[in-house]
Structure 1
Amino acid sequence: MPKEFKSFKEFYPYYLQEHKNRTSRRLHVIGSLLVIAILLYALISGAYLWLLAIPVVGYGFAWVGHFFFEKNKPATFKHPLYSLMGDWVMLKDVMTGRIPW
């Protein structure tokens, strides 16, 4: 694994390799969908304090997947921006059937 990635395109195959476990991917997808739901709820209702829950929910589900199912460290620790981007691209790939749910 390269220590530094020159682009997200170079990083994403590594990201997918770190998310081989189906349960872990499912937890990532659930966390990402809950993030969207919380964001929409906060914006529509004006209950902006809910926005504070976004990192807890998003990272909470993902990190449970990594620590208990993948048995690896989240890419967030070394590549936070690419990892965040990877979460959303993987969600899109799962929703479009490119990656198994």
Structure 2
Amino acid sequence: MTSQPAPGERYQSFSAFYPYYIHEHSNRTCRRIHIVGTALVIVAFVLGLTVSAWWFLAMPLVGYGFAWVGHFFFEKNRPATFRYPLWSLMGDWRMFFETVSGKREF
């Protein structure tokens, strides 16, 4: 298990947070759902640029919807987004790019 800050304290950097983030995504199905959700966020972004700006509203719904299903039903933990919203979003994108580049197993 990765070390966590003492109760009441927070991670002081994204580099310290990321190992915790990865540990919270140890379930393969949860990780896969995250990757699919993030890919669909990209699709919604492109549709927002090319079809209708309404697709931009779908981006957080798709991204968080997929991620939270992964956490609540497969990982069975509380998403880091609730405590570390920006670093969690950064972690999502880093994990996505590590996966699509082959650095992390899908």
Paired with 2:26 and 2:105, the residues of 1 have a C-alpha distance of: 10
The TM-score with structure 1 as length reference comes to: 0.96
Match of 2:33 in 1: 27
- Give distance in 2, aligned partners of 1:18 and 1:55: 20
Q: State the alpha-carbon separation in 2 of the partners of residues 50 and 93 from structure 1.
A: 26
- State the alpha-carbon separation in 2 of the partners of residues 18 and 98 from structure 1: 18
Aligned length: 100
Correspondence for 1:76:
81
Q: Does structure 1 residue 12 correspond to structure 2 residue 18?
A: yes
Unmatched runs of 5 consecutive residues or more in structure 2: none
What's the % identity of the aligned pairs? 55
SS in structure 2 of the partner of residue 97 of structure 1: coil
Larger RCO (CA within 8 A; separation ≥ 6): 1
**Deviation at residue 44 of structure 1 after TM alignment:** 1.5
CA–CA distance in structure 2, aligned partners of residues 92 and 49 of structure 1: 26
Runs of 4+ with >6 A deviation: none
Q: 1:99 Cα shift?
A: 1.4
Asked if 1:99 corresponds to 2:104, the answer is yes
> Where is the helix percentage greater, Structure 1 or Structure 2?
1
Q: Distance in 1 between matches of 2:26 and 2:11?
A: 20
One-letter code aligned to 2:40? L
Deviations 1:6-46 (A, max 9, x none): 1111100000000000100000000000000010011012x
Q: Where do 5+ consecutive residues of structure 1 fail to align? A: none
CA RMSD of aligned residues (A): 0.7
